[in-house]
Amino acid sequence: MSQDAIVMLKADHKEIRSLFREFQKSSTTPARKEKLVEQMIELLTVHTYIENEVMYPRVRDLLPDLEEDVLESYEEHHVADVLVMELAAMSSSDERFEAKTTVLIENVTHHIEEEEQEWFPKVREGLSRTELREIGEELAAAKERSPRRPEQPSALKKTVDAVIA
């Protein structure tokens, strides 16, 4: 059964926000925070990959009026990618681990809220159900081949492309 692209992306957002909430609990131990950051890194690497490779280019082609929104999203992903790369090399004992994770959470939360409250409604209004399902199928396929770690070549290429583009 094919799924609507926006529904799929919102499901990712929900999973990511859940990890953020657990990280932010005062009762979460440093060891658990380290595991949570590992999960965040994987989810965000996959999510930004599929949006950058499928969702943004397709929306940009189909709804040219949303180009500025797409370009801003690429930049927000770039910031998240840099933080994810840095966190991947850290442990919970590093002095800046908590602060860097907090900045990542704040940036990604802002991005998610903007997408869900402003961008997704514009995309839903501009595209047909069939188009959203087709994009959903492409997202699912991209998720299968997506990098899981920021140091994997396809993730590195995405980060480098964002820097030099």
Task: Give 23-37 pLDDT, tens digit per residue.
Answer: 999 898 999 999 999
pLDDT tier at 10 (50, 70, 90 boundaries)? very high
Instruction: For residue 152, tell me if it sits in a domain.
Output: yes
- Which 3 state secondary structure label does DSSP give 155? helix
Taking residues 45-69, what's their average pLDDT?
Answer: 95
CA separation for the pair 9, 18 (Å, rounded) = 14
Tell me the longest C-alpha to C-alpha distance in the chain: 49
pTM for this predicted structure: 0.89
Full residue range of the structural domain in which residue 92 is found: 5-160
Is the Cβ–Cβ distance between 31 and 92 less than 8 Å?
yes
What is the DSSP code (8-state) at residue 11? H
Instruction: For residue 24, tell me if it sits in a domain.
Output: yes
pLDDT tier at 150 (50, 70, 90 boundaries)? confident
Instruction: For residue 115, tell me if it sits in a domain.
Output: yes
Q: Is the pLDDT of residue 151 over 90?
A: no
Quote the number of domains for the chain.
Answer: 1
Q: Is the pLDDT of residue 87 over 90?
A: yes
Instruction: For residue 165, tell me if it sits in a domain.
Output: no
CA separation for the pair 7, 17 (Å, rounded) = 15
Residue 33's closest CA among 81, 92, 102, 94? 92
